[in-house]
């Protein structure tokens, strides 16, 4: 009987042992959670960049197939602003089979094909990415300098040519994908989507 009682005592945990285990768990959690959070933000930055990449592929491909000018419009914003949008990517098609340079004086009109937003709720039908911690926030020139505009239009000719407009024509543009804290402050490394005049698009970083 005495021997059985002794075995039972050795199977239990002392208060000190429990405190040590709790301390270890707390330490590991404190070390892992920030790293996991940053990893999620980086993944969401990549998801947001894909809204631009997919729009470029769609507009460029449809322009070649249909013989109509297509354009994408990229609107920039901070999270939690304008209804929670952290940027918006719109793909449009011109109704006439003419070159993009003739659409200004043409008799046709633009038809919206798709709208994708970075939104902060599930109620928006156009939400391509839900959350208020990521935004398509800016557009930069080839020297990685902000152009200070709210939107950019990219026109895709039926022949495959590309024209980046508003503001001005350019050989390339870098669209900023920024992560934010819950308080709305920029955090982490800003990623970019590079769009070249030849239509090549790539998720990268702008390095002057």
How would you class 147 by CB atoms within 10 Å of its CB: exposed for 0-12, middle for 13-18, buried for 19 or more? middle
The pLDDT, as a whole number, for residue 184 is: 77
**Residue (of 104, 108, 112, 106) closest to 95 by Cα position:** 108
For 17, the 3-state DSSP assignment is helix
User: How many angstroms separate the CA atoms of 188 and 168, rounded?
Assistant: 30
User: How many angstroms separate the CA atoms of 117 and 159, rounded?
Assistant: 29
Domains, in order of start, for the chain: 12-204 (3.55.40.10)
The first and second tokens of residue 23, run together, are 């301390």
Predicted TM-score (pTM) of this structure: 0.77
User: How many angstroms separate the CA atoms of 48 and 50, rounded?
Assistant: 5
Q: Tens of pLDDT along the chain (208 residues)?
A: 545 455 455 555 677 777 777 777 776 666 555 565 677 778 889 989 999 999 999 999 999 899 999 999 999 876 555 445 688 899 999 999 988 888 877 778 999 999 888 876 555 567 677 677 888 999 998 889 998 888 888 899 888 777 766 555 567 889 999 988 777 788 889 999 999 877 889 999 998 7
The pLDDT, as a whole number, for residue 94 is: 94
User: How many angstroms separate the CA atoms of 184 and 109, rounded?
Assistant: 38
DSSP label at residue 146: B
Place of tokens 């819950």: 182
For 138, the 3-state DSSP assignment is strand
Peptide bond into 52 cis (omega under 30): no
The pLDDT, as a whole number, for residue 4 is: 46
**Residue (of 47, 31, 162) closest to 100 by Cα position:** 162
């Amino acid at each position: 009987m005495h021997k059985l009682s002794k075995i039972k005592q050795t199977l239990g945990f002392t208060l000190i042992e429990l405190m040590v285990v709790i301390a270890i768990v707390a330490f590991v959690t404190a070390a892992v959670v920030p790293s996991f959070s940053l990893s999620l933000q980086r993944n969401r930055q990549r998801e947001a960049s894909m809204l631009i990449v997919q729009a470029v592929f769609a507009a460029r491909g449809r322009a070649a197939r249909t013989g109509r000018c297509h354009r994408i419009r990229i609107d920039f914003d901070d999270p939690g602003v304008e209804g929670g949008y952290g940027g918006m990517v719109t793909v449009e098609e011109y109704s006439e089979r003419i070159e993009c340079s003739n659409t200004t004086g043409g008799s046709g009109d633009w038809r919206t094909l798709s709208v994708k937003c970075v939104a902060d709720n599930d109620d928006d039908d156009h939400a391509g990415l839900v959350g208020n911690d990521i935004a398509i926030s800016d557009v930069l020139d080839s020297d990685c300098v902000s152009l200070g505009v709210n939107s950019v239009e990219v026109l895709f000719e039926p022949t495959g040519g590309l024209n980046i407009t508003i503001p001005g024509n350019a050989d390339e543009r870098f669209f900023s994908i920024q992560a934010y804290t819950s308080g709305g402050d920029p955090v982490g490394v800003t990623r970019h989507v590079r769009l070249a005049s030849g239509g090549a698009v790539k998720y990268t970083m702008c390095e002057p």
